[in-house]
Structure 1
Amino acid sequence: MENLELFERFGLAIAIGAIVGVERHWRERDEEEGKRTAGLRTFTLAGMLGGLAGFIEQAVSAPSTPRGLVVTGILIAFSAVFALYQYRESEASGSYSVTSVIAGMATFSLGALAVLGSLTLAAAGGVALVAILASREVLHGFMKTLTWNELRSAIIFLAMAFIVLPALPTTPIGPFGGVSPAETWMLVILLAGISFIGYVAVKALGQTRGELLAGAVSGLVSSTATAINNAQLSAAGHPPQVLVAGALAANAVSCLKVALFSALIAAPIAWRIGPALVAAALVMGGISLLIARRNTTESISHNSRNPFELPAVLKMALLLVAVAFLARASAALFGDAGLLTVSMLSGIADVDAITVTVAGMLDSIGTELAATALGVAAISNTVAKSGYAVALGASAYSIRFLLVNAGALAVGFFVYQALPALLQAVVLSR
Structure 2
Amino acid sequence: MSDIELFQRFALAAAIGALVGVERHWQERDEAAGQRTAGLRTFTLVGMLGGAAGLLELALATGGGNHGLVIAGLFLGLTAAMTVFKLREAVAEQNFSVTSLVAAMLTFAMGALAILGDMRIAAAGGVTLTAVLASREALHGLMRKVTWPELRSAIVLLVMTVIVLPLVPAQPIGPFGGISPSRIWLLAILLAGISYLGYLAARVFGATHGALIAGAIGGLLSSTATTVTNARQSISETATPASATLLAAATLAAGAVAHVRTAGLAVLLVPALAPTVIPALAAAALVMALAALLVGRTTSQGGSRTKDVNPFDLSQILQTALLLGACGFAARAASAWFGEKGLFIASALSALADVDATTVAVGSMVPSGLATATAATAILIGASANTLAKTAYAVILGSRRFGLVVAGGSLGAVAAGSVAYWMAG
User: Is TM > 0.5 for Structure 1 vs Structure 2?
Assistant: yes
Aligned partner of 1:341 among 345, 348, 359:
348
**Which consecutive unaligned segments of at least 5 residues does structure 2 have?**
219-224, 368-374
Contact 2:287 2:409 in 1 (8 A): no
1:280 deviates by 3.5
Distance of 2:395 and 2:113 partners within structure 1: 61
Contact 1:218 1:226 in 2 (8 A): no
What is the CA deviation profile of residues 382-415 of structure 1, one whole-angstrom value per residue up to 9, with x for unaligned ones?
766998999738xxx969x967995799599979
Distance of 1:412 and 1:133 partners within structure 2: 57
2:138 matched residue in structure 1: 138
2:209 matched residue in structure 1: 212
Quick one: structure 1 residues 2 and 372, their matched pair in 2 at CA, closer, same or farther if it must change by over 3 Å?
A: farther
Distance of 1:177 and 1:407 partners within structure 2: 32
Contact 2:52 2:112 in 1 (8 A): yes
Counterpart of 1:320, as a letter, is: L
1:320 deviates by 3.1
1:363 deviates by 9.6
95-104 vs 42-51, greater mean Cα deviation: 42-51
Counterpart of 2:306, as a letter, is: S
Counterpart of 2:18, as a letter, is: A
- Superposed, which structure 2 residues align to 1:269-280 within 5 Å? 280=285
1:321 matched residue in structure 2: 325
SS at match of 2:354: helix
Contact 2:388 2:411 in 1 (8 A): no
1:300 matched residue in structure 2: 305
- Superposed, which structure 2 residues align to 1:247-266 within 5 Å? 247-253=248-254, 255-256=256-257
1:60 deviates by 3.0
1:328 deviates by 0.1
Contact 1:13 1:111 in 2 (8 A): yes
1:305 deviates by 4.5
SS at match of 1:35: coil
Distance of 2:301 and 2:96 partners within structure 1: 42
1:174 matched residue in structure 2: 174
2:222 matched residue in structure 1: none
**Which consecutive unaligned segments of at least 5 residues does structure 1 have?**
347-352, 419-430
1:337 deviates by 3.2
What is the CA deviation profile of residues 191-218 of structure 1, one whole-angstrom value per residue up to 9, with x for unaligned ones?
433543454565xxx3564421144336
Quick one: structure 1 residues 226 and 319, their matched pair in 2 at CA, closer, same or farther if it must change by over 3 Å?
A: closer
1:24 matched residue in structure 2: 24
Quick one: structure 1 residues 28 and 355, their matched pair in 2 at CA, closer, same or farther if it must change by over 3 Å?
A: farther
- In the alignment, is residue 392 of structure 1 matched against residue 397 of structure 2? no
Aligned length: 395
1:323 deviates by 1.7
Counterpart of 2:32, as a letter, is: E
Distance of 1:270 and 1:315 partners within structure 2: 39
Distance of 2:399 and 2:185 partners within structure 1: 36
Contact 2:201 2:213 in 1 (8 A): no
1:88 matched residue in structure 2: 88
Contact 1:48 1:111 in 2 (8 A): yes
3-12 vs 136-145, greater mean Cα deviation: 136-145
Quick one: structure 1 residues 390 and 160, their matched pair in 2 at CA, closer, same or farther if it must change by over 3 Å?
A: closer
Contact 1:54 1:113 in 2 (8 A): yes
- In the alignment, is residue 376 of structure 1 matched against residue 348 of structure 2? no
Distance of 1:316 and 1:231 partners within structure 2: 14
- In the alignment, is residue 53 of structure 1 matched against residue 62 of structure 2? no
1:336 deviates by 2.5
1:59 deviates by 1.9
1:116 deviates by 0.6
Contact 1:212 1:292 in 2 (8 A): no
Distance of 1:268 and 1:251 partners within structure 2: 26
TM-score when normalising by structure 1: 0.70
Counterpart of 1:329, as a letter, is: A
- Superposed, which structure 2 residues align to 1:382-421 within 5 Å? 392=401, 406=412
Counterpart of 1:332, as a letter, is: A
Counterpart of 1:375, as a letter, is: A
Contact 1:187 1:356 in 2 (8 A): no
Quick one: structure 1 residues 408 and 372, their matched pair in 2 at CA, closer, same or farther if it must change by over 3 Å?
A: closer
Quick one: structure 1 residues 83 and 414, their matched pair in 2 at CA, closer, same or farther if it must change by over 3 Å?
A: farther
TM-score when normalising by structure 2: 0.71
